[in-house]
Amino acid sequence: MNLNLIIIITTAVALVAYLVSKVNDKAGAAMTVVGSLFALIAVFLLRDSIGTEITLLYFNFNLTVTGWYFALVMLMAYSMTAFFNPFWMKKLIYPAGYNFLYLLSMAGTLGVFFAKDFITLFVFWETVVWSSAFIIQMGKSRQAAYVYYVISAIGSMATLFAIMFAYGTTGTFVINDAFGGLAAYPGRAIVIFVTFIAAGMAKIGIFPFHVWLPFAHGSAPHTFSPVLSGGLVKMGAFVALLSVTAFPAYKIFGGMASFRGIPLPIYFMMALGAISIVVGTLMAIKQEDAKKLLAYSSVANGGYILIGLLMLDQVGFAGGLMHIVNHAVASAAAFLSIAAVAYRTGTTKMSEMGGMIHRMPITYVVYLIAIISMAGIPPMGGFVSKWLIFQGLADKGLLFIAATAFFGSIGSFLYVFRPLSAVFLGQTFTRDLNKKEVGVFMLFPMVVLTLLSLLTGIFPNIFLRVVTEIQTSLGVLPVTLAENTIVTNNGFLDAFKVFIVFGFGFAIAFVLFIARRKSRRVELMDTYTSAEFIHTRELLHYSHSFYAPFERLYEKAPDTMKLYHKAAVKISEIGNFAEAIFFGIKPARTVLLVMGTVLIGIIAGGVLS
Amino acid sequence: MNAMNFIYAFLMLVFVFIFQTSLTGFNRKVTARLQKRYGARWYQQFLDIFKAMRKDSTTHGWVFDFGVIMALGGIMATVIFIPVAGFRAFPGTDNVFVISYLLAVGMLGMAMSAAGSGNPWASIGVGRALTNMLAYDIPLMIVIFTMIFAFDSASVGELAKMQQGMGILGWNAFRMPLGGIVAVIALMGMLGKKPFDSFIAPAEIASGPMVEYGGKHLGFMFILHEFMTFIEVSLIINLFFGGGATIWEYMLKYAVLYTFTNIVSGVMPRFKIDQAVKYFYRVPLAMAIIQGIVVIFTGLGVTIWF
Amino acid sequence: MVLDKKDTRNIWEKIGDYFSANSIWMKWYCTGCGAIEMPPTMTSRFDMERLGMGPMATPRQADVLLITGYLSTKTLRRVIYSYEQMNSPRYIVGFGSCTINGGIYYDSYATINQLDKYLPVDLYIAGCMPRPEAIMNGFAALIEMIKKGEANGWRHYQENYEWYKKNQLESLGEVIINDEFHE
Ligand code: SF4
């Protein structure tokens, strides 16, 4: 099996899924499961052929270990989410189109990760953007698709510009050569660097491009959100990676002014990552919709990934790469569990449900493990990658970025706890008292992702070995790994030992707990209410404006989307003004006026010179 | 990692429990004296805990129990990682990030169980506690970050050892004076001492997260609180006050610092939670950043300055 | 209740009772006039913390429920609710003559006269209102009772639940409730 075949077969399966869905949409959705699982396994088996190059029509692919790593993460998100697809067919307007685009965008991402030249990269990139834009607009609102598309288009145009400019400068489309040849032109290199990375930042959702994430997630079909956040966002990380490795940013900007060893253009990008951590965290804290909250958390985590990748050093870079896996797994699991809840209750608004743990305990555990990982608490994977990023930052002494990283990491405790307490804990609403756990078919992917979260946390070295390979292939000093230990300049981490000690503590507590007499089970409503009798479950559930005192502190902060709206209004005013002049009541007069002005200008210029 | 480590770990837990609980009892006496009372017996805290463990209890479902176990388990695991006067039950695991984030497991367990009781007061309390954490942790983490950068080590035990043998001025609290002040203020926040105790305000939100606990659950919460206090005070002692060359020195420093926070707490009113956030983001955060800039850009404080 | 003079507790129960006696957490139900007597009992003049006693926020945490004065039928419901939320062993202390026989409200249509018809009272502190000295004495007596294993009201309540329930329903009457706004 080679890459060409995989891409061709998945595309073919996409077409078949389209046709089958016309007859029976559930069968078509099952095709997406088959197609994505096939791609996952097939790409996994490509491990042996890493380093080879291959051509499909006029697309050139280069099987790098980096691409392989990213592709696996992406396909993992796609294939696990696909298990949810059959259950959502009824809720979609165009089930056939959804199934088709789902697989098509998946095939597209493969092309992006293995692209050898810019043309391949760009074509496949656009395939993904377009197909996902069409999926997003199948959800609640069209505006979401607009925003997504506009932001993506800004990124794409910037990339196209960067590609053309690089081509004009170095005369080749092959990624490594085109960027490698830029060292002689540092001035142009800055422009190319900034414009090229823009597409990646737009995809990761880095400030100021972060606005599309909550919109898209707020309204995309619940089954597509895990893919968006767990997978597609990581495509942006890939571009960011290219812009520091294929584009040897540290080499090219090496001679420029730098801040603690980081050249200013790169530091500026890292600062944007830091800003998105803060903005993402603050916005996530005040969301009332579970999916929007998780979307903003993706913004914050994207910031971590960007900072990690841009450091391009031994430790922080490894952290960034590993965070891609961890965040993909955790956020896909979190989105899936929210989707499972939404499947039963029909809503993702946190104030409209509660106490689902008593109805859906497994979903709860999935969400719990996912957020432990997302918040970077041991013994889950997210901790290891955040630890690496912190160590990298401490090595370099990047104080301000570290401060935001800490803010984001403590802040994440706040926002991940909200759905936990509002959706799963607290009082069960009367409406939901007879709800049941979702079926095995939907539980399976969630449980798999949960186990993956645990695996990344307890044996991170399995994943970090691949990361070291990537680092070696990119010519970076790889992070030092001992048997179970990760060694850095500032100390080492033995994740397995941490897990064992945690287990030890838990065991003692457990023994102590069951040694004492069994407790009396009481009703959830039998709770301390200052001896007041309350009979309405909904009123005993505290979920609205959870952090109200904290939110009050920054409620006056400007909303980016509002600023964009203002800018849009201003621009359209300018447009109207121009329109009024040029297409006013008497266009002929305006034309005369303009021509006259130009004529006078020309004559005046002639006279003056 | 062999059986000996686990035995040491267990003995350490027992020691920490006895030491910290007696100290809490002693501090209840100190607080009483501040208020011109006679106060409880020094072993009152033990009686309270054992009494609570003795009583019957009520539960609100499995997450209520599970959260309590997870909380105590996570906190006890964190205690095992704390280096005490050079002693470590599991050598080489005292990374400062591991300690401060493993602590979060316990807190998450507690928050989970509290919210799982279905009581709105508990949720409000947890919300406040988390906000409080966001407030005090950032300045503290910045100072700790600075320290890791300055001494090239994130191991709590090693950072403590580096300060020893140079007299009192070798302590980080004096090498980085602003950082030391931030650390003590943050410690007050961590311990939930006044003025930062709005999340357990008993008269206002019926003791917040603790509202539904009774019997053994409450006993667990008290034990957990003792352990948590130990972790937090130990972190500050190790990082800023030179740890201890001997266990006696360590215990003495510990007792002094802990009693100091109690005395301050005894004469303080209470901040509202947003006031606490504002306070931490104004004074301590600024001090932490100034300290960071001074250390990272001038190197003052890395080398002793006399 | 019939007092069994023979001590039938085993050693663990004795130890348990020792802990219970020396660490009493109170939840006071501040009806009537008695609430005002509590602050002086707690603060520096009388300092009840010496006895290991202290206030607690919720009935779940508390060991002893203080009924500090008369109970109207409306508040009786709340008191019963609170008492049933407490974890055993749990004790009740009735303050003042109002809880004993109705005191000056003996002929009121709105109050109950005799608390121990509705809840098992372990100890009464007589007076109208009892002063802090009396309260301290009462608490010392309660501690002795618990230590000796004589404060068994909660067992009595379990065993004679039917009887208590009947009395409670009689005085409360039937209450039809739809939600918390309509009683
Ligand atoms: S006994 Fe006297 S002081 Fe107590 S409540 Fe009755 S009337 Fe008031």
- What does the pLDDT average to over C63-75? 85
Q: What is the mean pLDDT of chain B?
A: 85
Q: Contact partners of C by the rule of 3+ C-beta pairs under 8 A? A: A, B
Residue A138 has what DSSP assignment? Answer: T
Mutate to test the pocket of ligand 1, among C29, C33, C68, C72 (most ligand atoms within 8 A of CB): C33
Asked if A460 and A495 count as a contact pair (C-beta separation under 8 A), the reply is yes
C103 C-beta closer than 6 A to ligand 1? yes
User: Which region among A130-134, A507-511, C170-174 has the lowest average model confidence (pLDDT)?
Assistant: C170-174
CB contact under 8 A, B61 and A357: yes
Residue A262, phi then psi, degrees to nearest 5 = -105, 120
Residue A396: pLDDT band with limits 50, 70, 90? confident
Count H helices and E strands in chain C, helices first. 7, 5
Least confident of A106-110, A252-256, C79-83, C85-89: A252-256
pLDDT higher than 50, residue A472: yes
Where in chain A are the domains?
1-114, 115-503, 560-608
Count of Cβ atoms closer than 10 Å to residue A590 Cβ: 15
Comparing CB atoms, the residue among C43, C52, C60 nearest residue B41 is C52
CA distance A3 to B77: 47
Q: Which residues of A142-165 are buried (b: 16+ CB within 10 A; e: fewer)?
A: eebbebbbbbbeebbebbbbbbeb
Least confident of A3-12, A138-147, A495-504, C36-45: A138-147
The answer to whether residues B173 and B183 touch, using CB atoms and an 8 Å cutoff, is yes
**Alpha-carbon gap, residue B302 to A98, rounded angstroms:** 60
Q: Is the pLDDT of residue C33 over 50?
A: yes
Q: Is B105 on the interface with C (CB under 8 A)?
A: no
How far apart (Å, rounded) are the C-alpha atoms in residues A527 and A534? 10
Name every residue whose Cβ is closer than 8 Å to that of residue A243 and which is 6 or more positions away in sequence.
A193, A196, A197, A200, A249
- Look at residue A518 in the predicted model and tell me its pLDDT: 80
Is the pLDDT at A501 greater than 80? The verdict is yes
Distance, in Å, from the CA atom of C147 to the CA atom of C19, rounded to the nearest integer, reads: 9
Q: Taking CA A233 as the corner, what is the angle to CA A228 and CA A236, rounded to the nearest 5 degrees?
A: 150
| Angle subtended at Cα A409 by Cα A407 and Cα A413, rounded to the nearest 5 degrees | 110
Residue of B nearest to C41 (CA): B37
Tell me if chain A has a CB within 8 Å of the CB of C65: no
The atom of ligand 1 lying closest to the CA of C34 is: 4
The residue-averaged pLDDT of A514-518 equals 81
**Distance separating alpha carbons of residues B66 and A104, to the nearest angstrom:** 44
Residue B58 in this model has a pLDDT that exceeds 80: yes
- Which of A502-516, B189-203, B264-278 is predicted least confidently? B189-203
Confidence tier at C183 by pLDDT (50, 70, 90): very low
Of C44, C58, C87, the CB nearest to B55: C87
Nearest to A360 by CA among A437, A433, A423: A437
Compute, in angstroms, the gap from residue C158 CA to the centroid of ligand 1.
29
CB within 8 Å of C154: residues ≥ 6 apart: C88, C89, C90, C91, C120
Instruction: Indicate whether C177 pLDDT > 70.
Output: no
DSSP C67: E
**Which two tokens mark B110?**
């507690």
Q: What is the per-residue pLDDT for A583?
A: 66
Tokens of A519: 């407790």
Q: What phi and psi, each to the nearest 5 degrees, are found at residue C92? A: -125, 135
d(CA B56, CA C87): 5
The 10s digit of each residue's pLDDT in A193-237 is 788 888 788 888 887 777 778 877 777 778 888 887 777 888 888
Subunits adjacent to chain A (3 or more Cβ pairs under 8 Å): B, C
| CATH class of this structure's domain C25-172 | alpha beta
- Name, in order, each residue with C-beta under 8 angstroms of A548's C-beta and a sequence gap of 6 or more: none
Tell me which DSSP letter residue B204 carries.
H
Please give the distance of CA B185 from its chain centroid, rounded to a whole number.
Answer: 12
Chosen for mutation from A416, A502, A552 (greatest number of chain B CBs closer than 10 Å) is: A502
Angle at A292 between CA A291 and CA A293, to 5 degrees: 90
A27: closest CA among A93, A95, A73?
A95
Confidence (pLDDT) at A608: 67
Instruction: Give DSSP secondary structure letters for A468-512.
Output: HHHHHHTTPPPPEE-SSEEEETTEEEEHHHHHHHHHHHHHHHHHH
Q: Is C57 on the interface with B (CB under 8 A)?
A: yes
How confident is the model over A333-377, as pLDDT tens digits? 888 888 888 888 888 888 888 788 888 888 888 898 888 888 888
Q: What percent of chain A has pLDDT over 70?
A: 97
Per-residue pLDDT tens for C131-142? Answer: 888 888 988 898
Q: Which residue has the tokens 């050139």?
A: A60
Ligand 1 atom nearest C104 alpha carbon: 7
Q: How many angstroms separate the CA atoms of A262 and A260, rounded?
A: 6
Question: Residue A582: its pLDDT value, please?
Answer: 66
Predicted confidence (pLDDT) at residue B231 exceeds the cutoff of 50: yes
Whole-number pLDDT of residue B306 = 47
Pocket lining: C70 vs ligand 1, CB cutoff 6 Å: yes
A window 461-500, beta carbon within 8 A of B: 489-494, 497-498, 500
pLDDT at C127 over 60: yes
For B:33-72, CB contacts with C below 8 A are 35-41, 44, 47-48, 50-51, 54-58
pLDDT of residue B103: 84
ipTM of the complex: 0.89
- Give yes or no for residue C2 having a pLDDT over 70: no
Residue-wise pLDDT for A71-117, tens only, equals 888 888 888 888 888 887 777 777 888 888 888 888 888 888 888 88
Taking 60 as the threshold, does the pLDDT of residue C119 lie above it? yes
Question: In angstroms, what is the span from residue C115 Cα to ligand 1's centroid?
Answer: 13
Mean pLDDT along residues C140-168: 85
pLDDT band at residue A584 using 50, 70 and 90 as cut-offs: low
Mean pLDDT calculated for residue range C53-59: 85
Q: What is the pLDDT of residue A79?
A: 86
- Amino acid of residue A288: E
pLDDT in tens, B177-199: 888 888 898 888 888 888 888 88
pTM to 2 decimal places: 0.88
Amino acid at the residue A154: I
